[in-house]
Amino acid sequence: MSNMQDGREAGMIGSRTDGAPVRRPLSPHLQAYDMLQITSAMSISHRITGVAWAIGLLFLVWWLAALAAGPGPFGAVQWFLGSVLGWVVLMGLSAVAWYHTLNGIRHLAWDAGYGFSIPATYRSGHMVLIGTAVLTGITWLILFVAWI
């Protein structure tokens, strides 16, 4: 260990209960974590959906700016949003928005000091996933009914 080249190796020097050195991550880490656990999977999903939604706001800006600019530019946005790619974007964004919104309520509850036990965390996680599916389905239904 004396010829350590990479500073990140410092976080890999553990020891067994008998004191023998062992090379393993010292703290929760992608190598040691099962990322398919609902807790960690929903945590990183909250970030991913947050970033995706921030990028998705570009479509709202485009829509509003085109609406202010005139019928020509607005027709271009409506054409895109009505295309297959536009539908994929809108459906994806609605799912992402509902997930981030519902999981955000979960985070606010944690910030307030509630729901930290493992059963409560799993329960709220399942509620967020079910709620996302329900609200996204309702949104798509409204979208489809308004479209036809």
Partner 1 sequence: MANPIAERAALRSPLGRVRGLGSAKSGTQAWWMQRVTSIALLPLTIWLVFSLACMAGASFGEAQAWVARPLNAVLLLAFLAASFHHSAAGIREVIEDYVKPEFARMGSVLVVKGVCALLWLVSSLAVLRIAI
Question: Which spans of this chain sit near partner 1 (rule: CB under 8 A)?
Answer: 47, 50-51, 53-54, 57-58, 60-61, 64-65, 67-69, 71, 74-75, 78, 82, 94, 97-98, 101, 104-105, 107-108, 111, 139, 142-144, 146-147
Shortest Cβ distance from residue 3 to partner 1 (Å)? 23
Measured in degrees and rounded to the nearest 5, phi and psi for residue 14 equal -105, 175
Structure-token match 């010829």, residue found: 3
Please check whether residue 14 is in contact with residue 21, taking contact to mean a CB–CB distance below 8 angstroms. Answer: yes
Q: Compare residues 36 and 58 and give the one whose CB is closer to partner 1.
A: 58
- Least distance from C-beta 51 to partner 1, angstroms? 6
Kindly state the smallest distance separating residue 34's Cβ from partner 1, in Å: 21
CA 42 to chain centre: 7
Toward partner 1, which CB reaches closer, 20 or 147?
147
User: What Å distances lie between residue 52 and 6, 22, 92, CA to CA?
Assistant: 33, 39, 9
Contacts of 128 (CB under 8 A, 6+ apart): 42, 99, 102, 103, 105, 106
**Which of 25/75 has CB closer to partner 1?**
75
- End-to-end CA distance of the chain, in Å? 68
Tell me how far, at minimum, the Cβ of 32 lies from partner 1, in Å: 18
The residue among 28 and 119 lying less far from partner 1, judged by its C-beta, is 28
